[in-house]
A and B are shown apart, each in its own frame.
Chain A
Amino acid sequence: MKILLASFLLSAASALPAQQQATTLFTLAKSADVVVIATANAASDPSVDFHRIEFHTDQVLKGSAGESFAILEQAGRCCGRALSAMTIGDQVIAFLDYRGPGLHPLGGSRGISLATPEIVAHVRQLLAAQNQKSYGEILASGLSNPDQRVRIDAALALAALPSTRLGATANQQILSALQNELQAASASLPAMIDASVRFLGDAAATTLVQSLLTTDDDNVSNLMTRGLARLSGDSVHQSLMVAALPNPLAQQRACELAACIPNALSLPMLRILLTQSPRVALAASEALLANGVSAESIAPLTDSEVLKVAIERHSQLPKLRVVGKGNRQ
């Protein structure tokens, strides 16, 4: 029996590619007809076009699978099947569906993972949960799991969980995970921002605003702004009011946030920023226009050239990244 390194497990037996949130451990545990821990016993390919592995059932966590079962797939590493990555002797946790007479992995290669203790324990907890609150708390605790799949899947699943009120411990776990994720800026960041905004509400505002003001990555800034837009404007702007704006980058980000989330609370700050460097004054002018302040009332407070450019940019359409960029062949 071979247990491979956790880091390798993440991608062992993956489809090409899977939709992350559709194939999280949470979703698979809920959707599968059968969840089983099994050991790959033998390969018994009926032809070169098909690959079949016989499994011995070690433990059934959900449904029923008999003492042994087989999974059949079309052969070929070329199609990234769940079985092609498997070695005889591997112990796996499998999420399976009955389709016709046989069992098939759910979510392609994401439906079969090497059975690490962390994944198994997490799945057991999920299968035992009785209500949304329990799910939420299990997923929140999974955010700090040493296993990367558990961590990432927990973030994705939390972001998709129907709204429910969680306990203080779970909320703190979510906040800690958000802070770590803002540092790491990995592909889980969007899910963590969504989860934080939904479960922590205004309590997430301070953390997100502070990160926003220091990031020089426009994509991450955009992501955080979209998350903050879901919170109450007052909480976001109250966080903004007490934040330090020590340099032009922070000042510019503050203006961009105020432009995306109009709120009267930001107007005094924006008027002050009109007196800063011309580029910050430009961002502040655009934010004031976005807040419905007339160009006429901004005009006495800033240079005419700044206002002219701000009006031009304010009236431009939202930026499209790939639409209408060229005539295709």
Chain B
Amino acid sequence: MRLHLGEATGMSIYHISATLALVIITACGGSGSGVNSTTNGNATIGGLTLLSHTPADLEMQVDVHAAIQLIFDKGVVIESLRDQDTHLRTEDSETNIEGTLRLAENDRAVSFTPVAPLALEANYVFQLSALTCDAEGHLLDTQYQFSFRTLDNTAPTIQSSNLTGQQNRSRSTAIQVTFSEPLDIASLTANTVQLIDTFGQTYNCRREIAANTISITPQAELPGDRNFTLTLGTGLRDLAGNTLAVAFTSSFRTDSDFTSPSVFGAWPAVGALHISPSVEPVIEFSESMDPATVEPASVFFHDEFGSQVAFTVIANENQHTLRLKPLQNLSANRSFEITFLTGIAAVTDVSGNPLTATQALSFSTGTDTTTPWIVQALPSSNENRVSINVVPLITFNEALDTEWIDGDTVALFCGNERTAAVVQQLASNTIRLTPLLRLLPYKSYQVVLSGGHQGIRDLAGNVLPEDLAFPFATANDNSLPSAMLQPYNGSAGVPSTIHASIVFDSRIDPSTVSAATCELRMDNGVPVVATVALDTSNRVIGITPASALVPGYYYRTFVRGGPLGVRESSGNWLANDLNARFRVGAGIDNTPPTVNVQINRIAQSRSTGLIVPTSGFTIDVTASDAEQSLDMGSTRIRFTGSGTAPFAAELLANAAIGYNSVHLTVPLESAITRGAWSVSVEVADLSGNRGTSQSLQLQVDEPSSEALPFETTQVVWVRTDLDRDGNGRSDFDDDLYRMGLATEGDNAGTNSQVQKLMRDAIVTRASNLFGRAADGEPLGPDSIQVRITTRAPGAIRHMEIALGGYDPEGNRNRVYGATSTGILGRAYFDYRNANMNDRNLATSPGLGVFPGEMWLYQAKLHQQLYPSFLTMFAQRFLPLCPAMGGTPAGSHPADPVVLRASFQPSTANSEQLARFNVLMQAIDDWAMVNGTVLAHEIGHSLGLVAPGPAPNGLFGDSSLHDDNAGATEVMAASVGYESMVTLSYAFRDIELAYLRQRLILR
């Protein structure tokens, strides 16, 4: 009597699969004897590496006959270089340049020679496909691009400008000149770009460049009704260094200006007292003024005795603000008045329009001529390891004038980029700068305070002599510390014999741990006499009172936060002080805690016979204590066996510690010797009672390729091209039409764009679940060796899986309102991924991913519930699905615009934006669902979830799914639409350990 047919039937199917594999195996990965290169104690797959190339990236003046040379670390397969993602093109072109490939040096050197010389003065881009591979199937796994420019000996020429011969031109708008090619921005100087009026006066301009166009903007408004000439000199040059052959000139006449200026504001304020004798009063006007018209005849600047004050005039950049600089300091303790006169001698704007209304500005001087200075800056200048949640504070020796403290005079920069921050005057002499978002780790910032007469000043008006900059560097750590205080806040009945424990989530800077930063206090805040000590892991601070605590009393543990408190070794500090209040009970604690330990988060009941690699596996400790006074910082993990194993303190230093738990990954630098080991854990409570876990037996071994799912990267080709229902159109496209993401006839020509968006988004979702980027690139050591592609991979052995349409085992003629089979997909189960060429394409059994079934179910649900309830599916697809009354993609008037690949939402009108959002959010939700199902099916063909306990299985149930499936597990037996679009799905830890080859199956 047969109980299970799994192995036998599996063998028959594997036999078929194997047969297919013999047919389709090509050059890459033929024999499966992959090279293992151990990088972190796991058996990782050695990849293919591009060591060097010519031309270099961004190289200029490349010979038009040059060949592209690539050097790899292993011999490559020439067929893989013919992948459609390997090409040479001119910039922004979609056309490949023909050429011949040659291999040399044991196939490690590749040269690509264009069949015809390249064009002169052209930008080229060479791209190398991520699917480039060697004979053993090792992939490049990262798409690579570099650019270069061919020989360019041609001077740039002017194509157009926006001012030739213009009359009545705006006095302030930018002049734009477009060249035949981009210019070198360094060649745009005041000498090469000149704006001069008919009287020979030169006007300052701001010079900018974007692509081939330069913009010249006058800094102040130009005089009205005047002729100007723009001259571009021969010093202007292109990126290759070719200079303009002939200077360019163009003339224009400005628009008339008959508007009289008026005074906008002034400083000091009218009637101000005790102003510094070194004051330089500032007057703000409504438009650009002519500083040359400011003279004793037009401005009356005198003291209370009528004595005139001699001064010069300084205008700001746009000449809206004029500053009167007395030739010598004003007399102390005297009143002064400034009056702008009207009439024939009045000050004028740049166009000569006189001031017609006047206002007297009066103030009195005091005796204070001392510039303010800074007494403290936090962070201090050039400080490193500054916490990413820093709020800079600058304290001066005296009160500052509020009017001059704002975003114009106080700023925070990261490099040259301004960082959004709120400037506040915390106290009269203190400025606080609060970044709106957390700072980036390991970056250089600086607080800049403006000096001079446009900057910060004291109440008397004394300014800083110059700009002040306070550079600092943030800690190389993007997470803030947190700490767990034990006893925790609110605990009661705490034994009187305890010490307090503060467990940080990372190593602490020992120099910041002291009685000043960590205290045990009475409830009234008075510190208790105690010893403060940091343990050898640099994670755990113990505060041990000199005598037992008093029963019935409340106590508080205090940890100082902020820059003056405890800090991580990276430099980050706690955002706030930490406090925990607890009450001491009457009892004494003699009971040790109960301790449990797990390897790779596998329950102890399933831990028998576990085999782990020498590093990279996880250890989890949980403890419980009747008095609720655990001291998790006391956790000591002990390995017993022959050979070397990490010390307890070493392991704890890298662990994640919770109120009753510890989790860590055995690091590579603490690798364990092969052999038989036992693991046990001790945890104490705050009274010093120690509990010990059961001892777990495990085998540590170096993994071999036969035991691992990936000799080389598993490539998966997702087949969206199949027409399994035989209706003449791909099943994937059938889904798009059903859901309203494509229109029959495709008059707007948008179907292919939506098809691409949807296909790519589904694959992005599945890639993300395998720890890969949207492009399929690996992100780091935790990325799984699975690369999903949407087209034939060519030279590489690979899996294929159908995506689209209904379950082939159901009725293929079902329409909107029909019943779903309820099955979202099927795939072969391939234990330990023994066969890298699985074909999940059949119709009997029906294999692949079936989005059509999800659509049928959701559609029927919508029919039942609408209009009283709108499901999440209907929220997205009601506007689109034709069967639901929607307008499908390609049929709405806005669709030809919003579905263009080049569409920019920032340029959209409100109707287009609304339609764009409807389309993209629908595609996004649908891709999240089907991408998750795709990852699930691929998971089966990688060996998930092998049934039974380790070392043979991954604790899958008999249906090959997660047993006791919890929240949001990819390999759960059943999944829901709403969950997949709103919650974070992931593979189980043990599955990830297997897929990352940190767990070995035998």
Which residue numbers of A lie inside 8 Å of B, CB to CB? 7-8, 10-23, 27, 31, 42-43, 45, 48-49, 51, 74-80, 84-85, 87-88, 106-110, 156, 159-160, 162-163, 184-187, 189-191, 194, 198, 219-220, 222-223, 226, 230, 277-279, 281-282, 303-306, 308-309, 317-318, 320-329
Query: Given that A10-B973, A163-B869, A323-B927 are contacting pairs, would A21 and B861 also be in contact in the complex, using a CB cutoff of 8 Å?
Result: yes
Complex Cα–Cα for A156 and B928 (A): 20
Taking a contact as CB atoms closer than 8 A, the residue among A15, A75, A163 that contacts B826 in the complex is A15
Query: Given that A19-B820, A48-B8 are contacting pairs, would A43 and B931 also be in contact in the complex, using a CB cutoff of 8 Å?
Result: no
In the complex the two chains form, is A19's CB within 8 Å of B5's CB?
no
Kindly list chain A residues whose C-beta atoms are within 8 Å of the C-beta of B854.
19
In the complex the two chains form, is A77's CB within 8 Å of B3's CB?
no
Kindly list chain A residues whose C-beta atoms are within 8 Å of the C-beta of B916.
317
**In chain A, what residue has the closest Cβ to B966?**
A186
The stretch of B458-466, B645-653, B661-669, B977-985 in contact with A is B977-985
Taking a contact as CB atoms closer than 8 A, the residue among B434, B853, B966 that contacts A278 in the complex is B434
Complex Cα–Cα for A21 and B854 (A): 10
Taking a contact as CB atoms closer than 8 A, the residue among A12, A18, A163, A191 that contacts B822 in the complex is A18
Most buried by A among B8, B437, B872, B958: B958
Kindly list chain B residues whose C-beta atoms are within 8 Å of the C-beta of A317.
905, 913, 916-917, 920
Kindly list chain A residues whose C-beta atoms are within 8 Å of the C-beta of B713.
none
In the complex the two chains form, is B974's CB within 8 Å of A18's CB?
yes
Kindly list chain B residues whose C-beta atoms are within 8 Å of the C-beta of A220.
983
Most buried by B among A42, A80, A308, A328: A328
Complex Cα–Cα for A79 and B4 (A): 13
Complex Cα–Cα for A226 and B974 (A): 23
Most buried by B among A18, A48, A156: A18
B6 at the interface (CB under 8 A from A): yes
Q: What's the A-B contact tally at a CB cutoff of 8 Å?
A: 302
Kindly list chain B residues whose C-beta atoms are within 8 Å of the C-beta of A223.
982-983
In the complex the two chains form, is A191's CB within 8 Å of B85's CB?
no
Q: Write 5 A-B pairs (CB below 8 A) sorted by A numbering.
A: A12-B957, A78-B6, A84-B4, A198-B868, A303-B423
Complex Cα–Cα for A42 and B3 (A): 9
Count contacts on B: residues with CB < 8 A to the other chain.
107
Kindly list chain A residues whose C-beta atoms are within 8 Å of the C-beta of B920.
317-318, 320, 323-324
In the complex the two chains form, is B761's CB within 8 Å of A323's CB?
yes
**In chain B, what residue has the closest Cβ to A82?**
B959
Query: Given that A48-B9, A108-B822 are contacting pairs, would A320 and B965 also be in contact in the complex, using a CB cutoff of 8 Å?
Result: no
Complex Cα–Cα for A230 and B155 (A): 65
In the complex the two chains form, is A51's CB within 8 Å of B9's CB?
yes
The digit string for B818-861, where 1 denotes a CB below 8 A from any CB of A, is 01111111111110000000000000110100000110010001
Ranked 7 nearest A-B pairs via Cβ: A326-B774, A14-B973, A325-B774, A190-B978, A85-B958, A77-B6, A22-B822
Query: Given that A190-B982, A303-B422 are contacting pairs, would A80 and B959 also be in contact in the complex, using a CB cutoff of 8 Å?
Result: yes
Query: Which residues from 949 to 1000 on chain B have a C-beta closer than 8 Å to any C-beta of chain A?
Result: 957-969, 972-979, 982-984
**In chain A, what residue has the closest Cβ to B865?**
A162
**In chain A, what residue has the closest Cβ to B773?**
A326
Most buried by A among B844, B937, B982: B982
Query: Given that A20-B976, A328-B775 are contacting pairs, would A88 and B1 also be in contact in the complex, using a CB cutoff of 8 Å?
Result: yes
Cβ of A183 to closest chain B Cβ, rounded Å:
12
Taking a contact as CB atoms closer than 8 A, the residue among A15, A281, A328 that contacts B790 in the complex is A328
Taking a contact as CB atoms closer than 8 A, the residue among B868, B974, B979 that contacts A190 in the complex is B979
The stretch of B504-512, B521-529, B762-770 in contact with A is B762-770
The digit string for B751-784, where 1 denotes a CB below 8 A from any CB of A, is 0000001011111110010000111100000000
Complex Cα–Cα for A226 and B936 (A): 27
B940 at the interface (CB under 8 A from A): yes
B923 at the interface (CB under 8 A from A): yes
Cβ of A108 to closest chain B Cβ, rounded Å:
5
Complex Cα–Cα for A254 and B192 (A): 56
Kindly list chain A residues whose C-beta atoms are within 8 Å of the C-beta of B979.
187, 189-190
In the complex the two chains form, is A21's CB within 8 Å of B976's CB?
yes
Complex Cα–Cα for A78 and B161 (A): 69
Query: Which residues from 901 to 952 on chain B have a C-beta closer than 8 Å to any C-beta of chain A?
Result: 905, 913, 916-917, 920-921, 923-924, 927-928, 931, 933, 936-937, 940
Give 11 A-B pairs besides A31-B819, A76-B6, A323-B920 with Cβ atoms closer than 8 angstroms. A14-B959, A19-B820, A19-B975, A48-B12, A75-B9, A75-B12, A85-B957, A278-B436, A306-B422, A328-B776, A328-B789
Which residue numbers of B lie inside 8 Å of A, CB to CB? 1-6, 8-10, 12-13, 85, 129-131, 143, 407, 420-424, 434-437, 757, 759-765, 768, 773-776, 789-791, 819-830, 844-845, 847, 853-854, 857, 861, 864-865, 868-872, 905, 913, 916-917, 920-921, 923-924, 927-928, 931, 933, 936-937, 940, 957-969, 972-979, 982-984
In the complex the two chains form, is B973's CB within 8 Å of A78's CB?
no
Complex Cα–Cα for A48 and B10 (A): 10
**In chain A, what residue has the closest Cβ to B941?**
A78
Taking a contact as CB atoms closer than 8 A, the residue among B131, B420, B423 that contacts A329 in the complex is B131
In the complex the two chains form, is A279's CB within 8 Å of B436's CB?
yes
In the complex the two chains form, is A19's CB within 8 Å of B12's CB?
no
Kindly list chain B residues whose C-beta atoms are within 8 Å of the C-beta of A219.
982-984
Complex Cα–Cα for A19 and B927 (A): 16
In the complex the two chains form, is B959's CB within 8 Å of A13's CB?
yes
Cβ of A136 to closest chain B Cβ, rounded Å:
13
In the complex the two chains form, is B422's CB within 8 Å of A78's CB?
no
Cβ of B407 to closest chain A Cβ, rounded Å:
6
Kindly list chain A residues whose C-beta atoms are within 8 Å of the C-beta of B964.
7, 10-11
In the complex the two chains form, is B823's CB within 8 Å of A108's CB?
yes
Kindly list chain A residues whose C-beta atoms are within 8 Å of the C-beta of B2.
43, 45
Most buried by A among B789, B824, B917, B984: B824
Kindly list chain B residues whose C-beta atoms are within 8 Å of the C-beta of A108.
821-823
Cβ of B761 to closest chain A Cβ, rounded Å:
4
Kindly list chain A residues whose C-beta atoms are within 8 Å of the C-beta of B982.
190, 219, 222-223, 226
**In chain A, what residue has the closest Cβ to B960?**
A80
Most buried by A among B12, B85, B853: B12
In the complex the two chains form, is B869's CB within 8 Å of A190's CB?
no
Query: Given that A10-B964, A84-B5, A87-B3 are contacting pairs, would A191 and B976 also be in contact in the complex, using a CB cutoff of 8 Å?
Result: yes
Cβ of B926 to closest chain A Cβ, rounded Å:
10
**In chain A, what residue has the closest Cβ to B777?**
A326
In the complex the two chains form, is B865's CB within 8 Å of A160's CB?
yes
In the complex the two chains form, is B928's CB within 8 Å of A322's CB?
yes
**In chain A, what residue has the closest Cβ to B936?**
A17
**In chain A, what residue has the closest Cβ to B143?**
A329
Query: Given that A11-B959, A12-B958, A19-B977 are contacting pairs, would A187 and B968 also be in contact in the complex, using a CB cutoff of 8 Å?
Result: yes
Cβ of A103 to closest chain B Cβ, rounded Å:
15
Complex Cα–Cα for A76 and B845 (A): 10
Complex Cα–Cα for A153 and B130 (A): 44
In the complex the two chains form, is B5's CB within 8 Å of A76's CB?
yes
Complex Cα–Cα for A11 and B774 (A): 32
Cβ of A264 to closest chain B Cβ, rounded Å:
23
Kindly list chain B residues whose C-beta atoms are within 8 Å of the C-beta of A14.
957, 959, 961, 973-974
Kindly list chain B residues whose C-beta atoms are within 8 Å of the C-beta of A84.
4-6, 958-959
In the complex the two chains form, is A18's CB within 8 Å of B921's CB?
no
In the complex the two chains form, is B958's CB within 8 Å of A74's CB?
no
In the complex the two chains form, is B13's CB within 8 Å of A110's CB?
no
In the complex the two chains form, is B963's CB within 8 Å of A7's CB?
yes
Query: Given that A76-B13, A322-B928 are contacting pairs, would A328 and B760 also be in contact in the complex, using a CB cutoff of 8 Å?
Result: yes
In the complex the two chains form, is A163's CB within 8 Å of B868's CB?
yes
Complex Cα–Cα for A226 and B874 (A): 13
Cβ of A201 to closest chain B Cβ, rounded Å:
11
In the complex the two chains form, is A282's CB within 8 Å of B436's CB?
yes
Kindly list chain B residues whose C-beta atoms are within 8 Å of the C-beta of A107.
821-823
In the complex the two chains form, is B823's CB within 8 Å of A15's CB?
yes
Cβ of B418 to closest chain A Cβ, rounded Å:
10
Cβ of A159 to closest chain B Cβ, rounded Å:
8
Query: Given that A219-B984, A325-B774 are contacting pairs, would A74 and B844 also be in contact in the complex, using a CB cutoff of 8 Å?
Result: yes
**In chain A, what residue has the closest Cβ to B964?**
A7
In the complex the two chains form, is B8's CB within 8 Å of A12's CB?
no
In the complex the two chains form, is A77's CB within 8 Å of B4's CB?
yes
